[in-house]
Amino acid sequence: MAFKGVLRPGLIQIRVLNMDEAINHYQNILGLNIVSTEADGRVYLKGWDEFDHHSVVLRQAESAGLDYVAFKVDSDDYLREIEPKIVAWGLEVDHVPAGEQPGVGPRIGFTLPTGHRIELYHQIDMADDHPGITNPDIYPRRPEGMGASRFDHLLCYGPNIGKAREFFCEVLDFYQPEKVDLPEGDGSLAIWLTASNKAHDIAFVEHEEPGKLHHVAFLLQDWNEVGAAADIISINDVSLDIGPTRHGITRGQTIYFFDPSGNRNEVYAGGYTAYPDHPVRSWDFDHVGKGIFYYERALNDRFLTVLT
């Protein structure tokens, strides 16, 4: 197997202000399926094309935002071996026991210099309602709402993103398909990192406040589905941010909107196939508008400053 170590961002726990409104949004608008609701009130969901037990965890809280994202790794051995490397790089590692989330084995967690909590895990049960395996149909039934097939990636805002890049690339074997340079010096304003063939599994923008969430993205099949998502946003009076449009960076076709607690969501299709031997695509600061919004060719204040 050429694909080793970290496999993908598999679990994300999002804080919401009102659980009923959040369930309506993630279930009926995005089209994720509810897997379970647990005694502590957290609600577990998954996209129709995900084999694992769940991918999205909603937790009702006093503030919106991101609790953590957890990456699935290929084995228990990897989980054991990576821990001392994370510690040697300078991060404190803690342990989350098996069963803290239903169907999920032990996890390890740490906080990046950007203020974001990251976790790693290997064991997770297969979902009861998983995609077909034997003579599989293309999907088990027509998905609801936008029909988001899976949790795809996230964009984090925080300080020290250069350190985050170093950590992901040196310790977890990620690579960087794309970046935006700062107007002065050799630092980056924004970085796209991946452990896979996707143009990004996680991305960061340099920002003074630590631990902020810019958006959580879900995968759609194509441009038509992005258009249908726009229809669903208007039909249901969902708070629109921008789109449908396209990114120069990653080349993805996209629309951004907000969940009822103000957390930004993206549904996304397309994008190039990344390989670790490809050169890092770079955007200078003067071209960042086109990089982010390829058709509008300009950034807007809301996209840059609205975070949870």
Partner 1 sequence: MRHRVTIENCNETYPCSEQQTLLQGMEQLGKRGIPVGCRGGGCGVCRVQVTSGNFLKAKMSRSVISEADESKRIVLACRCTPTSDLSISVVGKMEKALRAECQVEPEDEVSVAAVV
Stretch that binds partner 1, among 63-71, 165-173, 174-182, 185-193 (CB under 8 A): 63-71
308 binds partner 1 (CB under 8 A): yes
Q: Which residue lies nearer to partner 1 by CB, 127 or 154?
A: 154
Q: Pick between residue 131 and residue 262 the one whose CB is nearest to partner 1.
A: 262
Burial 19-38 (b: 16+ CB within 10 A, else e): beebbebbbebbbbbebeee
The distance in angstroms from the start CA to the end CA of the chain is 38
Residue 285 is given by DSSP the state G
Do the beta carbons of residue 240 and residue 291 sit within 8 Å? no
Q: Measured from the CB of residue 306, what is the shortest distance to partner 1 in angstroms?
A: 4
17 binds partner 1 (CB under 8 A): yes
| Per CB under 8 A, 259 contacts partner 1 | yes
C-alpha–C-alpha distance, residues 1 and 5, integer Å: 11
Structure tokens at 44: 């577990």
Residue among 101 and 308 whose Cβ is closer to partner 1: 308
Q: Which residues pair with 212 in a beta bridge?
A: 157
286-305: contacts with partner 1 (CB under 8 A): 301-302, 305
DSSP 134-191: SS--S-SSPPSTT---EEEEEEEEES-HHHHHHIIIIIS--EEEEEEE-SSSS-EEEE
Nearest approach in angstroms of CB 144 to partner 1 is 21
**Is residue 160 at the binding interface for partner 1, with CB under 8 A as the rule?**
no
Q: Which stretch in 30-38, 111-119, 223-231, 261-269 sits in contact with partner 1 by CB under 8 A?
A: 261-269
Residue nearer to partner 1 on the CB measure, 114 or 308: 308
Which residue in the set 37, 123, 160, 239 belongs to the binding site for partner 1 (CB under 8 A)? Answer: 239
> With binding defined as CB under 8 A, does residue 65 bind partner 1?
yes
Query: Looking at the annotation, which residues are catalytic?
Result: 153, 200, 215, 247, 256, 266
171 by Cβ neighbours in 10 Å (0-12 / 13-18 / 19+) ranks as middle
Q: How far apart are CA 18 and CA 45, in angstroms?
A: 16
Beta strands at 175-181 and 281-283: parallel, antiparallel or unpaired: parallel
Out of 105, 140, 162, 262, name the contact with partner 1 by CB under 8 A: 262
Q: Which of residues 196-215 bind partner 1 (CB under 8 A)?
A: none
Positions in 23-62 near partner 1 (CB under 8 A): 62
Interface pick for partner 1 out of 36, 63, 221, 224 (rule CB under 8 A): 63
In terms of DSSP bridges, do strands 65-73 and 6-16 run parallel, antiparallel, or are they unpaired?
Answer: antiparallel
The residues of the shown chain that bind partner 1, judged by CB under 8 A, are 17-18, 62-65, 239, 241, 258-264, 301-302, 305-308
